[in-house]
Amino acid sequence: MFSIYNIDHMEMLRRRNAVQPHAMKKFRNALFKKAQDWDDALVLLPEAARADFKAHVQFKCLELVERRDSVVDGASKLVFRTEDDHLIESVVLRPKTGRTSVCISSQVGCACRCGFCATGEMGFTRNLTADEILDQVLQANRLLRAEWRMIRNVVFMGMGEPLLNLEHLFKAIDFFCAVPFFHLSPSKITVSTVGIPEAMIQFSEKFPGVQLALSLHSARQEVRAKLMPMARKYPLDQQRAALERIAQHGKVMAEYLMLEKVNDGEEDLKALEDFLRGLPVHINIIPFNEYDGSSLRGTPRPERERFASRLKVAGFDTTLRYSLGADISAACGQLVKEKQTHNGVMHDL
């Protein structure tokens, strides 16, 4: 068996069964652009070819084991099980703008151990394959079909550090953007990173149209290093140099999670302005999703709003994000952690 994402094998099957290119195109569109079920897509192939495709193609590589829907803001958290029995998360976001997004994982666990992240507490298990990355989006689309929605934006901001999984990340993005498959615009894909300078530059050269977002969270080296162990290895001067290189391809994005009495003071604001000055940058101010076991607290909304408006006044393109999915264990890795802790009481679909 091989997966529906294996282009060479699918082509081999097409030739072996003498399927005409236009029939194959309809079949591919049904699978990837319309997210139809396997049996519904199969009937678009000539009858004589169906058994061979059915016998040799694996329709999905992840098993959806839980779906949790927010009752307040339309977010849905999906937990998938890999074939080797690991759990990963994806989050479907239905913002009021109507552009449905999915936040996906790139690794099982994560080695970066950021202090504000439930996934970081799990440690690293393995990289996800390109198939497992792609399957999160395809399965999300299959669920969304019932609502007449399709994923418009893909965000690599779930479990794992995508730039530590470059091989599979590159393959997955190529597939997302390929015209015969998902045909997503590169500008609708965002990859968030803790900041691995060499990989950031390599990534932006290969995919200049894809948005790279630096998880900055502090422009004070000592604060950032406390929050994010990787910041000791890759300090702020290296981040700035990488951002300057990336800015040659367009605007850069800086993510700033606001943590009470950690990175939300006057000194922090000044350091942030100094660090980003002169760059074509968009700053996202993000609320912290608190979770059990973390001593960190989010900055209250009025202070977040003040911080964001000060940045705007200073001339920075700034967006204040609001929390989505707060009632469905919104923090990255939180739901998987809960399921691992309460092993055996999950609600299977």
Which DSSP symbol is given to 340?
Answer: H
Among 42, 49, 75, 112, binds ligand SF4 (CB under 6 A): 112
Angle 130-144/166-177 helices, nearest 10 degrees? 40
d(CA 335, CA 338): 5
| Nearest CA among 86, 64, 81, 71 for reference residue 141 | 64
Least distance to ligand SF4 from the beta carbon of 1, Å?
31
| Nearest CA among 267, 290, 276 for reference residue 243 | 276
Identity of the residue, 119 or 139, whose beta carbon is nearer to ligand SF4 in the bound complex? 119
Contact 173, 203 (CB under 8 A): no
d(CA 346, CA 181): 34
Q: Which amino acid is at 15?
A: R
Identity of the residue, 42 or 112, whose beta carbon is nearer to ligand SF4 in the bound complex? 112
Identity of the residue, 29 or 238, whose beta carbon is nearer to ligand SF4 in the bound complex? 238
Please provide residue 253's backbone torsions phi and psi, each rounded to the nearest 5 degrees: -120, 135
Identity of the residue, 31 or 112, whose beta carbon is nearer to ligand SF4 in the bound complex? 112
Q: What is the dihedral of CA 333, 149, 174, 160, to 10 degrees?
A: 0
Site for ligand SF4 in 59-98 (CB under 6 A): none
Site for ligand SF4 in 180-199 (CB under 6 A): 194
Among 13, 24, 140, 159, binds ligand SF4 (CB under 6 A): 159
Which DSSP symbol is given to 298?
Answer: B
Least distance to ligand SF4 from the beta carbon of 327, Å?
21
Q: Contact letters (x/-) for ligand SF4, 92-111, by CB under 6 A?
A: ------------------x-
Among 113, 152, 220, 249, binds ligand SF4 (CB under 6 A): 113
Q: Contact letters (x/-) for ligand SF4, 193-232, by CB under 6 A?
A: -x--------------------------------------
The total of other beta-carbon atoms located within 10 Å of residue 232's CB is 11
Identity of the residue, 76 or 107, whose beta carbon is nearer to ligand SF4 in the bound complex? 107
Identity of the residue, 35 or 324, whose beta carbon is nearer to ligand SF4 in the bound complex? 324
Among 44, 64, 93, 117, binds ligand SF4 (CB under 6 A): 117
Tokens 């894909």 appear where? 189
Least distance to ligand SF4 from the beta carbon of 216, Å?
12
Among 87, 114, 223, 286, binds ligand SF4 (CB under 6 A): 114
Which DSSP helix (H) or strand (E) runs through 51?
Answer: helix 47-56
Least distance to ligand SF4 from the beta carbon of 146, Å?
30
| Stretch of 17-25, 112-120, 290-298, 339-347 contacting ligand SF4, by CB under 6 A | 112-120
Active site residues: 89, 332
Contact 253, 156 (CB under 8 A): no
SS3 category, 158: coil
Identity of the residue, 30 or 110, whose beta carbon is nearer to ligand SF4 in the bound complex? 110
Q: Does 120 bind ligand SF4 (CB under 6 A)?
A: yes
Least distance to ligand SF4 from the beta carbon of 108, Å?
11
Q: Which amino acid is at 87?
A: L
Contact 102, 77 (CB under 8 A): no
Q: What is the dihedral of CA 168, 172, 174, 178, to 10 degrees?
A: 160
The count of residues interacting with ligand SF4 (CB under 6 A) is: 12
CA distances from 306 to 96, 235, 274, 309, 318 (A): 23, 28, 18, 5, 12
Residue ranges in contact with ligand SF4 by CB under 6 A:
110, 112-114, 117, 119-120, 159-161, 194, 332
